[in-house]
């Protein structure tokens, strides 16, 4: 670590003193992970074991809620796919080659329809994430153009990328500040102030949601006024000294040198909330 100035020495000593006497078993998740990483200098992956059961449930909700606006559009797209597949099956039965689809179109339509049916049943799959993100193939591009209603391009709705940003948490600035300056245990606040922004996918073997990220401290986030995701120290350390704490942490864990994050639900991909299931 680079040579510390007087303020940084004070903050470093205060953090180490707090770590020595604080009860790790009862402190909020974001503080514990911070101390493990900055004071204990752990570099092993942060996994689901680092979070409480309620935080893991909230993680599933956070991801699944991103897709609630797609119900109407997936219904529209699924209706088109089903009609086309039914027409194709009738053409095959009648041996009418003029009405049959290309094999790659049939395969894509079946794949998308299966992904949508899983989504309707309350389960996310990697195929659905690809569909929802707007990933295009010739067959899918053609299907979406024909499935679109007048003046409404269906493709425009499928633009949900598989990552969480700060806006997805839906918390205002006061709530974020509270999470940093108090012993908040709100599950969503803990996720925001520990994971922040992250990528996710669905494990094809387990069907579980997998979150990947790197736990480090990017000074540019502070300069840009971005919500800060990694640290939540006691109020006496987190007020006017907060920027110095960030600077200190950025020396210990600068970008690219942090702990890997791999959090898995170890269950089916996140259940879509009942209020969203059609």
Top mean pLDDT of 12-16, 64-68, 128-132 is at: 128-132
**Residue 61 is assigned to a structural domain of this protein:** no
Indicate if 94 and 212 belong to the same structural domain.
no
Q: How many domains does the chain have?
A: 2
Indicate if 191 and 244 belong to the same structural domain.
yes
**Residue 150 is assigned to a structural domain of this protein:** yes
d(CA 112, CA 127): 7
Indicate if 186 and 243 belong to the same structural domain.
yes
Indicate if 147 and 182 belong to the same structural domain.
no
**Residue 15 is assigned to a structural domain of this protein:** yes
pLDDT at residue 224 tops 90: no
Q: Are the C-beta atoms of 133 and 161 separated by less than 8 Å?
A: yes
| pLDDT (mean) for 24-51 | 92
**Residue 118 is assigned to a structural domain of this protein:** yes
Lowest mean pLDDT segment, chosen from 42-56, 174-188, 192-206, 246-260: 174-188
Q: Which of 157, 175, 200 represents a domain boundary (last residue)?
A: 157
- Order of strands across the sheet that contains 259-264: 163-164, 198-202, 209-215, 259-264
From the list 75, 71, 4, 3, the residue with the least C-alpha distance to 275 is 71
Indicate if 131 and 173 belong to the same structural domain.
no
Indicate if 91 and 148 belong to the same structural domain.
yes
d(CA 47, CA 248): 24
Lowest mean pLDDT segment, chosen from 90-104, 212-226, 241-255: 212-226
Give the pTM.
0.82
Range of the domain at 130: 66-157
């Amino acid at each position: 670590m680079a040579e510390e100035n007087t303020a940084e020495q004070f903050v470093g000593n205060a953090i180490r003193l707090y770590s020595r006497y604080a009860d790790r078993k009862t402190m909020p998740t974001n503080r514990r992970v911070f101390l493990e990483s900055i004071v204990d200098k752990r570099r092993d992956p942060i996994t689901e074991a680092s979070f409480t059961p309620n935080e893991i449930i909230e993680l599933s909700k956070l991801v699944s809620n991103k897709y609630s606006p797609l119900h109407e559009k997936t219904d529209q797209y699924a209706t088109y796919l089903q009609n086309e597949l039914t027409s194709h099956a009738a053409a095959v039965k009648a041996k009418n080659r003029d009405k049959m689809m290309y094999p790659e179109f049939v395969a894509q339509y079946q794949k998308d329809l299966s992904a949508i049916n899983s989504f309707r049943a309350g389960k996310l799959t990697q195929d659905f994430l690809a569909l929802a993100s707007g990933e295009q193939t010739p067959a899918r591009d053609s299907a979406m153009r024909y499935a679109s209603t007048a003046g409404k391009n269906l493709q425009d709705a499928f633009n949900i990328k598989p990552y969480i940003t700060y806006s997805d948490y839906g918390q205002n600035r006061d709530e974020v500040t509270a999470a940093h300056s108090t012993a908040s245990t709100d599950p969503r606040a803990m996720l925001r102030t520990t994971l922040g922004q992250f990528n996710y996918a669905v494990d094809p073997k387990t069907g579980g949601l997998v979150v990947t990220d790197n736990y480090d401290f990017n000074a540019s986030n502070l300069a840009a006024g971005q919500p800060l995701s990694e640290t939540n120290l006691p109020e006496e350390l987190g007020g006017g000294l907060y920027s110095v704490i960030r600077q200190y942490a950025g020396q210990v864990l600068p970008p690219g040198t942090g702990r890997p994050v791999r959090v898995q639900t170890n269950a089916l991909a996140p259940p879509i909330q009942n209020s969203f299931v059609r």
